[in-house]
Structure 1
Amino acid sequence: THTAEYWTRSFAKELLKVDAELLEQRLSRDGPSVPQLSVKNDLSSFLSLPPTKSRASKANDSSRLWLFEYEGVLNAPQSLPELAWPSDELVATLGKLASDERNMIFVISSRSSTVLDAWFPNHALGAIAELGFEVRMPGSSRWTPLVHVSSAELSWREDVLPNLRYFTERTPGSYVEEKNSILSWYYRDSDPQFGSWQAMELRADLNESGFDKVPVDVVDVHKCVEIRSNSVSKVRAVHELLMNLSESKPEFIFVLCGNESSDEELYAFLHSISIKDAE
């Protein structure tokens, strides 16, 4: 019988083949800033696990932490929050997962806490706003800082905003979204070629204005230029979250993130703590 486990194992074997074929290409390129995860070792370990039945009782009684990224994973990226509203089916599915007391669900988003409250009013769901700036724990309606950032560390916002507004005026269809630790300039609804060219000009303008020396990260993701405080990141957010959950540490962590290159850092971090736990 071709069960879900059969297909998963088949997929893992095919992935091992692809990884072997790409090895030579990887070696011929300059090494990435983040070390590649060991696909071969990880998948080989998975394939060596005993069948599901021998692990079922343990898994059924274990606590599980679920981290879902909203943009690019749960929903297609959009510019205006009004266009990115989650479907009733998605909200219901997450709510059903959260109703299981063994599950702790968090939705990670670049949007503000105000937007996430409107999207996910079910407080059984946890939420992480602005990719790690604030957190709403499951069962609570209160938002608290996940990473403490001083007002001085966010003073760059007032310097960057005029640049974003200038490019918004000269780029039809573009839009600026202001948040506490992130400023987003969306050009998804602009002319594709002109919008991409303007995004390149914006990044160059920020560098020429000296913002490359400011404690921010400038990221172009899904036709959006985001200027983020470098004190805030998904890696740091997950690290702080796990520290907060140290007394009720989950036995399983499911991470569904992956809409930008920096997510490699998140998976590398999770891989490192999984190795430590195994030692």
Structure 2
Amino acid sequence: MNLVSYEFVACQAANKGVLILSEFAGAAQSLGAGAILVNPWNVAEVASSIGYALNMSADEREKRHHHNFLHVTTHTSQGWAETFVSELNETIVEAQLRSRQIPPPLPIEAAVDRYACSNNRLLILGFDATLTEPLDALWRKGNQIKELKHKIRSDLREPLRKLCEDPKTTVLVLSGSNRNALDNNFGDFNLWLAAENGIFLRATMGEWMMTMPENTSMDWVDSVKHVFEYFTQRTPRSHFELRETSLIWDYRYSDAEFGRLQARDLLMHLWTGPISNLSLDVVQGSQSIEVRSVGVTKGAAIDRILGEIVHNKGMKEPIDYVLCMGHFLAKDEDIYSYFELMLPSETPTSSSSQVPTPFGTPTAGSSAAPLKKQHSLSPGKKSSFIGESMLDPMMGADRMSLLEGSSLINLQAENYFSCSVARKRSKSRYLLRSSDEVLELLRGMANHC
């Protein structure tokens, strides 16, 4: 059997015995470089190989054995099992992406009309690929390295400013980007910023706060950073970003096919190495890989964010219109589900409604598990990484009761618009094909301010 050849190599650490192996054996593909391969049906060749092995010099025996011994000790059954499981994980992710429905295009005119008829609106906007220049436009500029720091589209600034100045409208930019990126792009707007998937929060007129759960350790950062550095050096035009609560490796500017191959190898290195026994999420984007703590998603943070906004603004009137759109990763699309659970279980039909029924709309009588609400908010520190217990101990039960953002949401189905931007497979209700359509939508809303 093939395993006998592996066992022989493992047992010859002291004697450095020579392996003579049939070229037809499966093990010849992995041990052939250090073994003497023969055709077992050629008796003369077998006899000659045995004589060669018996008279082989000690130096050659050492080199041949070292090569095979290294392969046997590194390609273990545990390594095979971990690789097999990682392949299964990839298959599950791919199957989930294929099974998602393609949302219909957003009826922009209907969304603007419902906005105009509402009294307390909430706009949740992503940043990258939503409010920024399209990727192909950046590529045509010829120097993609300078464009790695995304900037808001210049033609979006005026309509966004009008929306921010409307007293009936609250604008929240919710992004995976770091705090500096959001400060540089939106510091002169009157809106709310949520950085690193909602971990950090501030009104542009206030200071940064954090919504980090307690006892979140970042001890894993250095080991993951080492893997990302290794693949960045070996993948031209790729780069990685070290954030305060996560790391992301981006290969959108690399050769597409080579980038995918490198991404597959990087995932195998992560799952079989530094994060194999850690409570971390590996989030795969279309051309990126992000490592973050388990439970850090936009959907997990939105309740705490809304609670702080409601408390800070002294909001009394219920929120009756929500637009949530962005180029969100699949892991972060739980934010769409958050608002779906706020809708009435039975939506009365109305002949006057101009909003078409989207894909994925919950049917009457359908049930969903309630969200687990965690409320922990404290002033953020300007450290490079988040340590343990950075939460404000002064926050007691009285403050917690004020942070129920969902209590002020009175949303009807026709006034909720979840839109994926340039991401066809999505859990959202609608689709916007590019940031150009985002511009058209925001301009339409701004005309009613």
Residue 396 of structure 2 is matched in structure 1 by none
Distance 1:57 1:184 in 2: 39
Q: Tell me: CA distance 1:119–1:234, structure 2 relative to 1, closer, same or farther (3 Å).
A: same
Deviation at 1:243, TM superposition (A): 2.4
Name stretches of at least 5 consecutive residues in structure 1 with no aligned partner: 1-30, 40-51
Deviation at 1:122, TM superposition (A): 1.6
**Which of 199, 222, 228 is residue 263 of structure 2 equivalent to?**
199
Deviations 1:84-140 (A, max 9, x none): 211222222211110101111111111110111011122402111111110122x52
Identity %: 24
The question of 1:173 aligning with 2:231 is answered no
Answer whether contact 1:86 1:119 (CA < 8 A) is retained: yes
The question of 1:259 aligning with 2:328 is answered yes
Deviation at 1:253, TM superposition (A): 1.6
Answer whether contact 2:238 2:249 (CA < 8 A) is retained: yes
Residue 181 of structure 2 is matched in structure 1 by 115
Distance 1:87 1:219 in 2: 27
Moved more, 215-224 or 78-87: 78-87
The question of 1:270 aligning with 2:339 is answered yes
Answer whether contact 1:64 1:253 (CA < 8 A) is retained: yes
Distance 1:186 1:58 in 2: 41
Deviation at 1:220, TM superposition (A): 1.8
Letter aligned with residue 253 of structure 1 = V
3-state secondary structure, aligned to 1:269: helix
Residue 220 of structure 1 is matched in structure 2 by 284
Deviation at 1:216, TM superposition (A): 1.8
Q: Which structure carries more helix by proportion?
A: 1
Moved more, 188-197 or 243-252: 243-252
Distance 1:84 1:96 in 2: 22
Q: Tell me: CA distance 1:213–1:239, structure 2 relative to 1, closer, same or farther (3 Å).
A: farther
Answer whether contact 2:129 2:327 (CA < 8 A) is retained: yes
Distance 1:149 1:171 in 2: 36
The question of 1:142 aligning with 2:211 is answered no
Distance 2:184 2:292 in 1: 23
Distance 2:247 2:198 in 1: 14
Residue 350 of structure 2 is matched in structure 1 by none
Answer whether contact 2:238 2:253 (CA < 8 A) is retained: yes
Structural mapping, 1:29-68, within 5 Å: 59=118, 62-68=119-125
Q: Tell me: CA distance 1:140–1:160, structure 2 relative to 1, closer, same or farther (3 Å).
A: same
Distance 1:127 1:209 in 2: 35
Distance 2:115 2:289 in 1: 45
Distance 2:148 2:259 in 1: 21
Larger radius of gyration: 2
Letter aligned with residue 339 of structure 2 = L
Deviation at 1:275, TM superposition (A): 3.2
3-state secondary structure, aligned to 2:262: helix
Deviation at 1:58, TM superposition (A): 5.7
Report the TM-score when normalising by structure 1: 0.72
Distance 2:185 2:328 in 1: 20
Deviation at 1:159, TM superposition (A): 1.8
Deviations 1:238-270 (A, max 9, x none): 111122245525222211134332344221221
Answer whether contact 1:95 1:122 (CA < 8 A) is retained: no
Following TM superposition, the consecutive aligned residue runs of length 4 or more in structure 1 with deviations greater than 3 angstroms are 55-58, 76-83, 275-279
Residue 74 of structure 1 is matched in structure 2 by 131
Deviations 1:57-84 (A, max 9, x none): 962xx11111001123223468866452
Residue 92 of structure 1 is matched in structure 2 by 158
Distance 2:245 2:304 in 1: 17
Q: Tell me: CA distance 1:175–1:32, structure 2 relative to 1, closer, same or farther (3 Å).
A: closer
Would you say how many aligned residue pairs link Structure 1 and Structure 2?
A: 234
Name stretches of at least 5 consecutive residues in structure 2 with no aligned partner: 1-94, 104-112, 139-143, 346-409, 413-449
Structural mapping, 1:7-18, within 5 Å: none
Letter aligned with residue 233 of structure 1 = T
Distance 2:331 2:171 in 1: 22
Q: Tell me: CA distance 1:212–1:273, structure 2 relative to 1, closer, same or farther (3 Å).
A: farther
3-state secondary structure, aligned to 1:153: coil
Distance 1:246 1:121 in 2: 21
RMSD: 3.3
